[in-house]
Structure 1
């Protein structure tokens, strides 16, 4: 149910093929337009103000939102590891040379973690303060019009109402794969046009104990994917 919810959040109907996509030109092979009927790009589009981010969400979700997120996070991780020249061979207790694309896919294919990804995107969307009480009510009214199950709606309402702290997001996220994916998901849901939003991402990177240069690579990866969707 959570995997379907994650895809619906990004804009898919939940039955999209889970084909990981990574590297430059990530959107080149994706079909144009949005998928998923009434929920096409809708939930994330309600939250974020960046039109290109909305387009990316809808296109990425046609391939399965979780799968694309894992593939893009691995691409950023690979670039970071190459640029570090092997200096960082361990992250906490992990041996970085043993990490591959399949480990990123496995990391994101977890219901509890996918719920945390949703929390991270909602928290990022709220970071600039544009989702006030009036805006939140507008989102709830729009969700009511979508063809979503009652359980899905209830989960989204609960996530929207919950106060979500950076500490709560980082709690229990232990592997470099999940840290990268959580941070990347946050990058997609935020519009970096003021210091408050950058401070949110900086605080999240610090709470996750994510290497600064890896966080930078993840931001670049998100920016590239969003730019290609424009």
Structure 2
């Protein structure tokens, strides 16, 4: 599974949703009305349509329905890596013991195999954040499976999306894969893309994630500052 390309597509689509509005993207893909027109659109747009469909699927869940804020403007893995690195660099200059373990490397500077592995982690974090309410009833799962099928998702991607939505990765599982503060910062940042901070449950999830990742408040401040500067 090419996790890096899929994540790039999701971030690009998120930026489009933030710029044009979620409804515009859903209408473009006929998300609400399956049929020949949408099938043709998906076939023509290939990966882009797949990414847009998955993002609309995630944002269409109960938790992520109203997410259209500035966090979606991140737009690319380079932006995620750059923002996380800038925040970490600013923070580490005032913290002698900044690194959790080892030297930090931003995702956009990793070799292909390592970048794909980290992209898988970030995809899991994004989906877990989209399902921050922790509730997927039988009807919702049936709807998700139907939409996955209608979007033309097959093989590894379909299985991965369905599995992660049905049983999102725990905070502990995500944190266990973060061997440096840079990786933890990227996980937090990608999760914030899917969070509506005006929703109490979602905001609480992001706070719990920061605690599980052992991100100090001073680094969180730098992350929010760097994200705001990039989205301006």
Normalised by the length of structure 1, the TM-score is 0.68
**Which of 189, 198, 204 lines up with 2:194 in the alignment?**
189
- The DSSP-based 3-state class of the residue aligned with 2:179 is coil
Q: How many residues align?
A: 197
Q: Deviations over 1:163-215 (max 9, x none)?
A: 42111110131112101100100110111123322221121111111111212
**Deviation (angstroms), 1:51:** 4.5
Q: Is the 8 A contact 2:188 2:209 kept in 1?
A: yes
Shift of 1:9: 3.6
Residue equivalent to 1:70: 81
C-alpha distance in 1 between matches for 2:100 and 2:70: 37
User: In angstroms, what is the RMSD of aligned CA positions?
Assistant: 3.5
The partner residue of 1:90 within 89, 92, 97 is 97
* The 10-residue stretch of structure 1 (124-133 or 154-163) with the greater mean CA deviation from structure 2: 124-133
What's the counterpart of residue 214 of structure 1?
219
8 Å contact 2:126–2:191 — kept in the other structure?
Answer: yes
- Contact 2:107–2:115 (CA<8 Å) still a contact in 1? no
Aligned partner of 1:110 in structure 2 is 115
Q: Aligned equivalents of 2:174 and 2:68: distance in 1?
A: 25
In the alignment, structure 1 residue 134 sits paired with structure 2 residue 145: no
Unmatched tracts of structure 2, length 5 or more: 26-44, 60-64
What secondary structure sits across from 1:173 in the alignment?
Answer: coil
Q: Write the distance in 1 (CA, Å) between the matches of 2:134 and 2:145.
A: 17
Looking at structure 2, the residues matched to 179 and 80 of structure 1 have their Cα atoms a distance apart, in angstroms, of: 14
SS at the partner of 1:91? coil
Q: How far does residue 41 in structure 1 lie from its aligned partner after superposition?
A: 2.6
Give SS of 1:189's match. Answer: coil
Larger Rg: 2
Are residues 1:204 and 2:209 paired?
Answer: yes
Consecutive unaligned residues in structure 1, runs of 5 or more:
13-26
- Check 1:93–1:162 CA distance in 2 against 1; reply closer, same or farther (3 A cut): closer
Structure 1's 218 and 133: CA in aligned 2 closer, same or farther, altered over 3 A? farther
User: Secondary structure of 1:190's match?
Assistant: coil
Summarize the Cα distance change of 1:220–1:194 in structure 2 as closer, same or farther, 3 Å threshold: farther
Note the C-alpha offset of 1:53: 4.8
